[in-house]
């Protein structure tokens, strides 16, 4: 009897302990979230006030003159970035890699490729960046590893290896026949036969990039631990590579074939069974919980077809990606106020917008929007647009000096494998990845040796040193607009209010914050435009604006809102005088 009572008491005690643990747990969990610190009264977080800048490390600055950029090179340019107005740098993969996809084939997630330096170099870069209040964002290649990663080497070694299920292995349909019709986005079948075990493995990208099996909890754990490892080394967040493709239909249904062929000669296909599967949102929610413990930000490489798809990436409760990139914005490929207006309204309704003009996979904005005659003026119009919108901009290195694409002229010069395969329809991505143009010396001051990719002739005029000396340069315009963005509460935190919505030449809007308002008017046409603003509908009686920044030659201190003449391809930014 006594024993039974004691047992009962022990049970009560342990239940109480269990209950207390659960209670404490629920009290502790929100605390982890509470580490996320707002930086203003609106509850905005640091990444909402920050300007991000993408660095392709191979091409930014070469400190050891081997023709390839490196971490010490980046460290040597931190003062430049600080003065430019950059708050966070996203470094594309600099981990050990066979470099088949220039770093997007990672063979060790917790180290630095010797070509870029060492972990000690990384730590020095992190500490120098920290001193300047610049945060570091790493690239998280989570869909796939390199085929040289030890996990894959184990996985392919035998069918019963414990790592076998870390990747997607399947039997073929018959001799020489892959398991289904899925295509690699980089050309050919997405299945590669491996003779060692007589099965196929799945790769959405190159065959040297086998897809991880995110249905396996051990994969999730190992990959989440990678993020912790970097957070503990001071990293402020990740740009998540290829999130759309994390999951595949386990039943391997064939994708529907569409009419026509793609640039690699494969039939067009709707990737309905191997992209954007609902399961990926669970992974993002759990990854976000880890990020929140470190006040970190998750940026998504989110290629969405429409705003509804983009909205899903924020999470129903804003519990997935804080910063899914809006690539729909990059798809507005002409200077069309109407199309930009539509796009901006859409993303504003979806969540906190994240704007990019281009990146290491997209032709540079300078040529996409340029008309070949007014490219510099147009580059300022585009900067005047996405750097004054509500949202977070992610710049691409060299954009601030008007770097152009330098596409290979001959197939034998192409470095990017898809450029070789797709030539001449698809020349690959070398053109947008050329070395940063620092000055007029040989190799644009990037390196004393021949760089891995050639610099375009435009480096003589479009480089940091030359542009710093010219008050009208693209670079000085970027510096001014970024300074304004940091200083002005309306540009930083204000709402976006579209104005003159029927104007097909001029895109204009207000940024409103409390009783402050800033007017932005962008003439996207090649002729002068007369614009008139009646802000009474916004509850604003003022009829004057004081000029904050303009690219116009006839630069006046004030502008009458009822009649502003905008020069061709010009930017006007003014504070509404109330």
Tell me the catalytic residues: 241, 293
Minimum CB separation of residue 306 from ligand NOJ in Å reads 20
Least separation in angstroms between residue 209's CB and ligand NOJ is: 6
Nearby residues of 127 by Cβ (< 8 Å), 6 or more positions away? 234
Q: Omega before 424 cis (within 30°)? A: yes
Q: Which is nearer to ligand NOJ, 101 or 295 (CB)?
A: 101
Q: Report the residue closest to ligand NOJ, judged by CB.
A: 104
In the complex, minimum distance from the CB of residue 190 to ligand NOJ, in angstroms, rounded to a whole number: 13
**295 or 432: whose CB is closer to ligand NOJ?**
432
CA angle 388, 502, 541 (to 5 degrees): 65
CA 525, CA 45: separation in Å to the nearest integer? Answer: 36
Nearest-angstrom CA–CA distance, 564 and 521: 10
Q: Burial, 538: exposed, middle or buried (Cβ in 10 Å; 0-12, 13-18, 19+)?
A: middle
Under a CB-based contact definition with an 8 Å cutoff, are residues 67 and 77 in contact? no
From the CB of 394, what's the least distance to ligand NOJ, in Å? 12
Q: Give the span between the Cα atoms of 262 and 278, in whole angstroms.
A: 27
In the complex, the smallest distance separating the C-beta of residue 105 from ligand NOJ, rounded to whole angstroms, is 8
Nearer to ligand NOJ, 143 or 437 (CB): 143
C-beta closer to ligand NOJ: residue 116 or 438: 116
CB 80 within 8 A of CB 61: no
Residue whose CB is less far from ligand NOJ, 315 or 417: 417
Cα 313 to Cα 267, 309, 318, 345: the distances in Å are 29, 7, 9, 17
Q: Residue 101 or residue 292: which is nearer to ligand NOJ going by CB? A: 101
Shortest distance, position 239 Cβ to ligand NOJ, whole Å: 9
Which of residues 205 and 294 has its CB atom nearest to ligand NOJ in the complex?
Answer: 205
Q: Which is nearer to ligand NOJ, 208 or 443 (CB)?
A: 208
**CA–CA separation, 52 vs 89, rounded Å?**
6
Residues in contact with ligand NOJ by the rule CB under 6 A: 101, 104, 141, 205, 241-242, 301, 360-361
* Least distance (Å) between residue 223 CB and ligand NOJ: 14
Helices (H), 110-201: 119-131, 150-157
Q: 54 by DSSP, 3-state: which?
A: strand
Residue with smaller CB distance to ligand NOJ, 241 or 400: 241
Phi then psi for 558, rounded to 5 degrees?
Answer: -130, 160
What does each C-alpha distance from 87 to 132, 246, 289, 487, 504 come to in angstroms? 9, 30, 24, 13, 34
Can you read off the two tokens belonging to residue 297?
Answer: 């930000």
In angstroms, the CA 323 to CA 239 distance is 9
Calpha distance 141→99 (Å, rounded): 13
Could you tell me if 94 and 111 are in contact, meaning their C-beta atoms sit under 8 angstroms apart?
no
HSE-up (13 A, CA, CB side) for residue 440: 7
Shortest reach from residue 104's CB to ligand NOJ, in Å: 3
End-to-end CA distance of the chain: 84
- Provide the Cα torsion 424, 429, 432, 435; round to 10°: -110
Helices (H) and strands (E) in the chain, counts: 17, 21
Report the nearest approach of ligand NOJ to the CB of residue 444 (Å): 23
């Amino acid at each position: 009897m006594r024993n039974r009572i004691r047992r009962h008491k022990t049970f009560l005690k342990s239940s109480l302990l269990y209950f207390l643990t659960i209670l404490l747990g629920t009290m502790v969990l929100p605390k982890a979230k509470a580490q996320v610190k707002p930086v203003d009264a609106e509850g905005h977080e640091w990444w909402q006030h920050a300007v991000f800048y993408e660095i392709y490390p191979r091409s930014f600055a070469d400190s050891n003159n081997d023709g390839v950029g490196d971490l010490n090179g980046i460290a040597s340019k931190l003062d430049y970035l600080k003065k430019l107005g950059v708050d966070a740098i996203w470094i594309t993969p600099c981990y050990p890699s066979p470099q088949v996809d220039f770093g997007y084939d990672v063979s060790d997630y917790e180290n630095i490729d010797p070509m870029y330096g060492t972990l000690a170099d990384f730590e020095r870069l992190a500490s120098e960046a920290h001193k300047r209040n610049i945060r570091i964002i790493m690239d998280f290649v989570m869909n796939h590893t390199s085929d040289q990663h030890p996990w894959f080497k184990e996985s392919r070694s035998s069918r019963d290896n414990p790592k076998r299920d870390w990747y997607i292995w399947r039997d073929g349909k018959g001799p020489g026949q892959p398991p289904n019709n899925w295509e690699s986005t980089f050309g050919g079948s997405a299945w590669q036969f491996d003779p060692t075990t007589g099965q196929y493995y799945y790769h959405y990208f190159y065959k040297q990039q086998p897809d991880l099996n995110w249905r396996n909890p051990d994969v999730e754990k190992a990959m989440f631990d990678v993020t912790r490892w970097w957070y503990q080394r001071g990293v402020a967040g990740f740009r998540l590579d290829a999130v759309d493709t994390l999951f595949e239909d386990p039943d391997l249904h064939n994708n529907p074939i569409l009419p026509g062929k793609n640039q690699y000669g494969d039939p067009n296909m709707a990737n309905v069974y191997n992209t954007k599967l609902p399961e990926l949102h669970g992974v993002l929610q759990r990854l976000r919980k880890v990020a929140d413990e470190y006040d970190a930000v998750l940026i998504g490489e989110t290629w969405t077809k429409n705003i509804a798809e983009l909205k899903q990436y924020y999470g129903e409760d804003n519990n997935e990606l804080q910063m899914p990139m809006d690539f729909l914005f990059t798809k507005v490929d002409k200077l069309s106020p109407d199309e930009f207006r539509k796009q901006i309204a859409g993303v504003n309704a979806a969540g906190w917008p994240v704007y990019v003009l281009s990146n290491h996979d997209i032709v540079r904005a300078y040529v996409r929007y340029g008309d070949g005659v007014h490219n510099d003026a147009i580059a300022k119009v585009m900067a005047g647009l996405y750097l004054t919108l509500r949202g977070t901009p992610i710049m691409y290195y060299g954009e601030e000096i008007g770097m152009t694409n330098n596409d290979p002229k001959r197939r034998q010069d192409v470095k990017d494998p898809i450029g070789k395969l797709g030539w001449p329809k698809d020349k690959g991505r070398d053109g947008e990845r050329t070395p940063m143009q620092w000055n007029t010396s040989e190799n644009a001051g990037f390196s004393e040796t021949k760089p891995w990719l050639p610099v375009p002739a435009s480096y003589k005029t479009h480089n940091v040193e030359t542009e710093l000396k010219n008050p009208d340069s693209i670079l000085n315009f970027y510096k001014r607009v970024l300074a304004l963005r940091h200083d002005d509460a309306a540009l930083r935190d204000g709402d976006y209010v579209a104005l003159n919505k029927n104007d097909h030449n001029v895109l204009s809007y207000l940024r409103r914050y409390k009783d402050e308002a800033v007017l932005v008017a962008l003439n996207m046409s090649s002729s002068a435009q007369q614009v008139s603003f009646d802000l009474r509908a916004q509850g604003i009686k003022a009829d004057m604006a004081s000029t904050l920044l303009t690219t116009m030659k006839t630069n006046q201190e004030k502008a009458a809102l009822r009649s502003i003449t905008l020069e061709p391809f010009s930017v006007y930014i003014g504070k509404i005088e109330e």
